[in-house]
């Protein structure tokens, strides 16, 4: 029997269900088929993120499981990230366009790419997919493998897929997965005007 799980945020104030119910899972169902419509919607949500001067300095590499592209991205992940991501349905590389074609810096590129990633995760979770962003990967290996121009910099990799069976994973992973979600208190974050 499959044991489903969740790890909702204990919020200080009400927030949208999709925000409270999103968490970064490390438990994917390796037998699940990727919901292509959900992926398409997540990419569409990312496309509609705001950006400085509407420059849209985001690019995506979508690597579906059982493809050479997946192997390339997966092998670039560092340490622990490799072990649990092999069951994900896809790995998406989030790439920042850090300069214009004529070499002018795009100062807000990382900020804008992060907003696109946030839109992506929220839409993905609303559509029933689960996600986990990772900074632990070899960005140069990914850039080289996909022949990216130097102005395109991979900043994160996001695993996406269907939630797996928490009853079928090693104890240490289960503990991490079910560990209480924590955040700083809002009162400690608002520097002025609370």
Closest CA to 177 of 30, 25, 20: 25
Per-position x/- string for 175-194, each x denoting binding to ligand FMN as judged by CB under 6 A, each - no binding: ------x-------------
Backbone angles phi, psi at 59, to 5 degrees: -140, 155
CB 12 to ligand FMN: min, Å: 15
163 binds ligand FMN (CB under 6 A): no
Interface pick for ligand FMN out of 18, 62, 134, 169 (rule CB under 6 A): 134
Do residues 49 and 118 lie in contact, with contact meaning Cβ atoms separated by under 8 Å?
Answer: yes
Q: What are phi and psi of 56, to 5 degrees?
A: 50, 55
CA distance 12 to 30: 35
Binding part of the chain for ligand FMN, among 30-38, 66-74, 128-136, 160-168 by CB under 6 A, reads 128-136
Which of 8, 135, 167, 170: binder of ligand FMN (CB under 6 A)? 135
* Separation of alpha carbons 164 and 18, rounded Å: 19
Question: Applying CB under 6 A, what is the total number of residues that bind ligand FMN?
Answer: 9
Residue 100, token pair as written in the block: 């214009």
Q: Which residues would be at the binding site for ligand FMN (CB under 6 A)? A: 23-24, 81, 133-136, 156, 181
């Amino acid at each position: 029997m499959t044991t489903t799980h969740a790890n909702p945020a204990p919020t200080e104030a009400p927030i949208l269900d999709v925000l409270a119910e999103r968490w970064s899972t490390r438990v994917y169902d390796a037998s699940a088929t990727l919901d292509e419509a959900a992926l398409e919607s997540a990419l569409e949500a990312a496309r509609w993120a705001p950006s400085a001067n509407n420059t849209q300095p985001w690019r995506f590499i979508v690597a579906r499981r059982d493809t050479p592209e997946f192997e390339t991205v997966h092998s670039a992940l560092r340490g622990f990230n490799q072990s649990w991501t092999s069951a994900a349905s896809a790995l998406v590389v989030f790439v920042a366009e850090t300069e214009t074609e004529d070499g002018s810096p795009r100062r807000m590129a990382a900020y804008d790419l992060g907003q696109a990633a946030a839109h992506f995760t929220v839409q993905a979770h609303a559509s029933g997919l689960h996600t986990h962003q990772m900074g632990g990967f070899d960005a140069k290996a990914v850039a080289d493998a996909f022949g990216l121009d130097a102005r395109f910099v991979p900043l994160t990799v996001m695993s996406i897929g269907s939630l797996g069976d928490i009853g079928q994973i090693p104890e240490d992973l289960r503990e991490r997965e079910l560990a209480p979600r924590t955040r700083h208190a809002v009162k400690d974050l608002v520097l002025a005007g609370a």
